[in-house]
């Protein structure tokens, strides 16, 4: 029984291990979730890498056609095909290098949210920028609960459109939800007495809490 209980506790600790990581920066913080990689992005990038590589090989293969250095017309045709397939192939290979590691950047200096894809070399490419003022709410969505994990999302204004921040056990997301709620929505508090300048300090973690005006 003790052995079974020990295994059960180990499994519980493993399942409750946070999948979400928050890294502080001098301008704000980055939210990374190891369960939020974009499956569709992976599919498209693998496809782009394969097709792009084939197009580059085809463009180089045009020079292997017989008589390529004898006929001016054939040379012109080959140059056009090499340029077309080569440029298109290199573009697809470049797209495939964008990466699939998804992260949310909360910039307290520029007052904006950035959706970013980062590749295995650490190169980040911004997918979208969203001003804080367009965020209507930050909440935990339990309607799509999977394997005990819920979603932390941001709602755009009063619309039905949401942006997924992280997917994790609920107890691992409540603190982040509260933090993002203060940082993104605190500026709307009617009793706010001073603007947020906390981002100037390295390691700043949030905005100044609203205080009642006497």
Q: Hey, what CATH topology would domain 19-37+101-117+125-188 get?
A: PH-domain like (2.30.29)
Predicted confidence band at 76 (pLDDT cuts at 50, 70, 90)?
confident
Share of the chain above pLDDT 70, in %: 52
Which is higher by pLDDT, 141 or 13? 141
Q: Percentage of the chain surpassing pLDDT 90?
A: 23
* Inter-helix orientation angle 39-61/72-96, to 10°: 160
Mean pLDDT of the chain: 72
Confidence class of residue 129 from pLDDT cuts 50, 70 and 90? very high
More confidently predicted of 109 and 201 = 109
Positive or negative, the CA dihedral 184, 186, 190, 194 is negative
Least confident of 19-28, 32-41, 148-157, 190-199: 190-199
The larger pLDDT score, comparing residue 137 to residue 39, is at 137
Report whether 44 contacts 94 (CB < 8 A).
no
* pLDDT band at residue 189 using 50, 70 and 90 as cut-offs: very low
Q: 43-57 burial string, b = 16+ CB within 10 Å, else e? A: ebbeebbeebeebbe
Which pLDDT band, with edges at 50, 70 and 90, does 38 fall under?
A: low
- Give the integer Cα–Cα distance in Å for 66 and 101: 46
User: Does the structure show a pLDDT above 60 at 10?
Assistant: no
Q: Within 13 A of 94's CA, how many CA atoms are on the CB side?
A: 7
pLDDT at 160: 87
**Band (210; pLDDT cuts 50, 70, 90):** very low
How many other CB atoms are there within 10 angstroms of residue 112's CB atom? Answer: 19
pTM for the whole structure: 0.59
Domain coordinates of the chain in residue numbers? Answer: 19-37+101-117+125-188, 42-96
Contacts of 114 (CB under 8 A, 6+ apart): 104, 105, 107, 126, 127, 128, 129, 130
Dihedral of the alpha carbons of 204, 34, 159, 188, in degrees to the nearest 10 = -10
Query: What pLDDT is attached to residue 79?
Result: 73
DSSP letters, 147-192, are: TTEEEEEEEETTSS-EEEEEEEEGGGTHHHHHHHHHHHHGGG-TT-
Residue 104 φ/ψ, nearest 5 degrees: -110, 125
């Amino acid at each position: 029984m003790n052995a079974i209980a020990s295994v059960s506790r180990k499994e519980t600790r493993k399942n409750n291990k946070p999948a979400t990581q928050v890294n502080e920066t001098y301008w704000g913080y980055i939210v990374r979730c190891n369960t939020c990689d974009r499956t569709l992005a992976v599919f498209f990038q693998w496809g782009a890498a394969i097709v792009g590589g084939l197009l580059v090989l085809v463009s180089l293969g045009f020079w292997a056609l017989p008589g390529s250095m004898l006929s001016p017309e054939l040379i012109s045709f080959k140059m056009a095909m090499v340029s077309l397939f080569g440029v298109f192939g290199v573009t697809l290979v470049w797209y495939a290098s964008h990466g699939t590691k998804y992260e949310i950047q909360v910039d307290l200096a520029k007052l904006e949210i950035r959706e970013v894809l980062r590749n295995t070399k650490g190169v980040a490419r911004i997918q979208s920028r969203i001003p804080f003022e367009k965020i209507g709410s930050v909440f935990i969505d339990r309607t799509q609960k999977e394997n005990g994990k819920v979603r932390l999302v941001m709602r755009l204004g009063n619309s039905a459109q949401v942006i997924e921040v992280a997917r994790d056990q609920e107890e691992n997301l409540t603190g982040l939800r509260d933090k993002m709620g203060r940082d993104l929505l605190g500026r709307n508090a009617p009793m706010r007495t001073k603007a947020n300048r906390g981002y100037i300090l390295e390691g700043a973690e949030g905005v100044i809490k609203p205080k009642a005006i006497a």
